[in-house]
Amino acid sequence: MLRDLEDQNDTQLDGLMSKVSQLKGLTTQIGDEIRDSSRFLSGLEENFENAGTRLKGTFNRMLVMADNAGVGWRAWLVVFCLVFGAFWFVWWR
C-alpha cells in the first residue's frame, strides 16, 4: 500500500517536473522574442529618426529653392496639395 502511494507520488512529481520544464522553455522563448522585438523596434526608431532628419533637410532645401525662385512657400504648398489631390483622386476613383 505504501509502495503504491510512493509510486503514485513519483508519477505525479515527474508530471509536475515535466510541466515546469515546459514552462521554463516557454519563458525562455518569450524572452528571446521580446529581445528580438526590442532590437527590431530600436532599429525602426533609428530609421524613423533618419527619415525625419532627411525630411527636414529636404523641406529646408525646398524653402531655399522657393525663395530663390521668387515664389513663396505657400504657393509651392498649394501646388503640392493639388498634385497630391490629383493622385489621390485617381488612385481612389
Percent of the chain beyond pLDDT 90? 67
45-64, pLDDT tens digit by residue? 999 999 999 999 998 998 88
Predicted pLDDT of residue 54: 94
Please state, in angstroms and rounded to a whole number, the distance separating the CA atoms of residues 51 and 57: 10
- In what helix (H) or strand (E) does residue 65 lie, and over which residues does it extend? helix 2-69
Q: Is the pLDDT of residue 5 over 80?
A: yes
Please state, in angstroms and rounded to a whole number, the distance separating the CA atoms of residues 35 and 29: 10
Give the torsion sign (CA, 54, 58, 59, 64). Answer: positive
Q: What is the pTM of this model?
A: 0.51
Predicted pLDDT of residue 86: 95
User: Torsion angle of alpha carbons 52, 55, 60, 64, nearest 10°?
Assistant: 170
Q: Which residues of 6-38 are buried (b: 16+ CB within 10 A; e: fewer)?
A: eeeeeeeeeeeeeeeeeeeeeeeeeeeeeeeee
The rounded mean pLDDT for the chain is 90
31-41, pLDDT tens digit by residue? 999 999 999 99
Predicted pLDDT of residue 53: 94
